[in-house]
């Protein structure tokens, strides 16, 4: 799907894109009945969005409405969704974000209901393309207080769990935003299936650092690049955003604790450096003894 920035609130193509994402969300079981909402920014102060009380699988372009960045409806026959304030808060805080998808994918929402942090250091694609998924605190949906719950977590993530509610994903266009929802729910499903088999196994520290190196080379940001003392697999890179207690793993075995990863600083910690020097010294001595 082409990102048609500045194409205006009357663009039928963009309205059709919203309807297409709505069908995908509905057909995937990510939004039952009237659940979920979708938006795309089309100008400096204009956003197209799905209306309230409509099934996302059966929307037509004529159903789509438009609001300004303060949430005032400026076009459309149907009333805009009350949860558009969540979308607008994200867009105002992150000018690079052009589209937002909010829905209730069942496997990811199960983590939201259990208030269980999503384990890291398990799948390569998730580490590189998604990273840690913060969990915004619960607030009654619809108002600005609800929208503001995501503010502490918006830096360096495009994927959020809304506690006891669902998920919100965002990106450069509608397809980008939707794909993050699909990836997140597929990952959560894999985690739950693995748990049924027995346990989830985590990457080693070396494997994790290799994936972070790859992520850095690909140009993706990650809060672990900037937080010196975070645990690489410990859901702690966003800990400063939590006013309440940092979510703790209960259903899954605790992730291993690896020291933080600073961008451009891949020097092993002192204890590992000492072990490496000792190992190399022993190898050299052994080789000399054979000569």
How is residue 51 annotated by DSSP? B
74 in the same domain as 24: yes
23-69 confidence digits (pLDDT tens): 999 999 999 999 999 999 999 999 999 999 999 999 999 999 999 99
Q: Which of 197, 229, 244 is the last residue of a domain?
A: 197
Say yes or no: 230 and 86 in one domain: no
Instruction: Supply the pLDDT for residue 226.
Output: 85
Residue 156 is predicted with a pLDDT of 84
pLDDT, residue 265, reads 46
pLDDT for the residue numbered 266? 46
Instruction: Please answer whether residues 61 and 17 qualify as being in contact, where contact means their C-beta atoms are separated by less than 8 angstroms.
Output: no
Whether 1 is in a domain gets the answer: no
CATH number at residue 59: 3.40.225.10
12-27 helix and 174-197 helix, angle to the nearest 10 degrees: 10
Q: What is the model's pLDDT at position 150? A: 97
pLDDT profile of the chain (291 residues), mean per 10: 55 96 98 97 96 97 97 96 97 97 98 96 94 95 96 94 98 97 98 95 95 93 84 86 83 88 53 59 66 54
pLDDT digits (tens, 9 = 90+) for 144-156: 999 999 999 998 8
pLDDT of residue 291: 54
Residue 90 covered by a domain: yes
Do residues 228 and 136 share a domain?
Answer: no
The partner residues of 42 in beta bridges, in order of sequence, read none
Instruction: Tell me, yes or no, whether 226 and 140 share the same domain.
Output: no
Reported as type and span, the H/E element at residue 161 is strand 159-162
d(C-alpha 150, C-alpha 168), whole Å: 9
Nearest to 117 by CA among 241, 257, 252: 252
Tokens 């992520």 appear where?
Answer: 215
Look at residue 2 and tell me if it is in a domain.
no
Q: Answer yes or no: is 86 within a domain.
A: yes
131/166 same-domain check: yes
Asked if residue 6 is part of any domain, the answer here is: no
Do 129 and 255 belong to one domain?
no
Euclidean distance between CA atoms 33 and 26, whole angstroms: 8
Q: Of 167, 197, 227, which one is at a domain's C-terminal end?
A: 197
Look at residue 38 and tell me if it is in a domain.
Answer: yes
Range of the domain at 272: 205-282
Do 89 and 130 sit in the same domain of this protein?
yes
Provide the domain count of the chain: 2
Q: Which residues are catalytic?
A: 83
Specify if 3 maps to a domain: no
3-state secondary structure of 167: strand
Q: What is the pLDDT of residue 290?
A: 62
pLDDT at 261: 73
* Residue 151 resides in a domain: yes
- Cα–Cα separations (whole angstroms), residue 128 to 38, 108, 218, 220, 237: 25, 19, 9, 8, 15
Please state the φ and ψ torsions of residue 38, each to the nearest 5 degrees.
-135, 145
Residue 109 near residue 167 (C-beta atoms within 8 A): yes
């Amino acid at each position: 799907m082409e990102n048609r920035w500045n194409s205006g609130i009357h663009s039928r193509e963009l309205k059709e894109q919203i309807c297409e994402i709505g069908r995908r969300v509905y057909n995937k079981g990510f939004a039952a009945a009237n659940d979920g909402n979708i938006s795309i920014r089309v100008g400096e102060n204009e956003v197209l969005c799905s209306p309230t009380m409509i099934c996302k699988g059966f929307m037509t372009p004529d159903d789509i409405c438009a609001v300004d960045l303060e949430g005032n409806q400026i076009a459309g026959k149907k009333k805009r969704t009350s949860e558009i304030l969540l979308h607008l808060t994200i867009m105002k805080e992150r000018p690079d974000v052009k589209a937002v998808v909010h829905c209730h994918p069942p496997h990811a929402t199960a983590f939201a209901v259990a208030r269980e942090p999503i384990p890291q250091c398990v799948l390569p694609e998730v580490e590189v393309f998604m990273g840690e998924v913060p969990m915004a605190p619960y607030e009654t949906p619809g108002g600005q207080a609800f929208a503001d719950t995501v503010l502490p977590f918006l830096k360096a993530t495009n994927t959020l769990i809304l506690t006891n509610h669902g998920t919100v994903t965002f990106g450069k266009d509608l397809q980008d935003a939707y794909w993050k929802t699909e990836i997140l729910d597929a990952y959560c499903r894999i985690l739950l299936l693995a748990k049924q088999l027995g346990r989830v196994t985590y990457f080693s520290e070396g494997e994790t650092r290799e994936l972070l190196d790859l992520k850095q080379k690909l140009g993706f940001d990650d809060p672990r690049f900037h937080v010196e003392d975070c645990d690489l697999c410990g859901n702690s890179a966003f800990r400063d955003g939590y006013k309440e207690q940092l979510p703790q793993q209960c259903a899954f075995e605790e992730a291993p604790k690896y020291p933080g990863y600073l961008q451009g600083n891949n020097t092993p910690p002192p204890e590992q450096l000492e072990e490496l020097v000792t190992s190399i010294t022993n190898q050299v001595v052994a080789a000399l003894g054979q000569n």
